[in-house]
Homo-oligomer: A and B are copies of this chain.
Amino acid sequence: MKINPQSRDDLSAQIAKAIKDAIIQGDLIVDARLPSEAELCAQFQVSRPTVREALKRLAAQSLIRTQRGATGGAFVNRLNFKDAYAQHITTSTLLLSMNAVSFETACEARYALERACAPLAAHRRKAEHLAIMQAEIQHQSQPDLSDAAFCASDVAFHRALVDAAANPVLSYQLAGAVEAMQPLMNIVTFSARDRAKIIALHIRIADAIAAGNGLAADSGLVQLEQETLFLAKTIFDARSA
């Protein structure tokens, strides 16, 4: 790996980058053991706390895992979809909340991506996903549900729709768009009539997916997007008045 001159970057950041590059480049394969902290100290000519800070940076990105004991050490982690999901959702959520992204922009992105899944989902849906969608529709129909719980159920419904496309890459990329919308939706209060409209569209979409009709599912999503935008607009207008 490379050396570390007196640049303006932290030593720990430079060391982390060097190791990260080695992983990306394939010089360090999955489950490979990194040199021990003492060896890394010698290699980079820095102290142990500095090396440790670098390793913690990598651990925070799930790039490595550490293990104590005699045969312990730092190992290149196999990045799994579950960890990547969690990170992606966190980043997406913060990105939206910190950058004043308009509701319209986020909504447009979400439905554009979801519609991309519809034909695949209609073609490949398994009983498992249909069951989740039905269950969430049932759940949403309970009149004493809080707005937050309604939103959470909405997200679960859409996640099942995305997962029905049976493409893990698609599910991963969409997780950010779908889940990150939840905080934005939580400011909306739904009247009983609003909920009924949304549930009706969910039923229509679920039926279309079950029937293998991608076009109908797509049209349902389009209407759902319009309904969502209309709802949000009503709320915002009322608030600013």
Contact = CB atoms under 8 A, between A and B. Distances in A.
Interface of A: 12-13, 16, 20, 23-24, 26, 30, 49, 52-54, 56-61, 63, 78-81, 84, 87-88, 90-99, 101, 105-106, 108-110, 112-113, 115-117, 120, 165, 167-170, 172-174, 176-177
A78 B60 contact: no
A141 to B, nearest CB: 30
Contact of A79 (B16, B99, B173): B99
Given A108-B170, A172-B176, 7 more contacts: A56-B57, A63-B94, A79-B95, A105-B167, A105-B169, A108-B120, A173-B177
Q: How many copies does the complex hold?
A: 2
A94 B173 contact: no
Contacts of A81: 95, 99
Contacts of A49: 49, 52
Majority DSSP secondary structure for residues of A touching B: helix
Given A112-B117, A170-B113, A176-B173, A90 B58 contact: no
28 contacts: A16-B60, A49-B52, A52-B53, A54-B56, A56-B57, A56-B60, A57-B60, A60-B60, A61-B91, A63-B94, A79-B91, A79-B98, A79-B99, A84-B92, A84-B95, A88-B88, A92-B173, A101-B168, A101-B169, A105-B167, A106-B169, A109-B169, A112-B116, A112-B167, A113-B113, A113-B116, A113-B173, A173-B173
Nearest to A96: B169
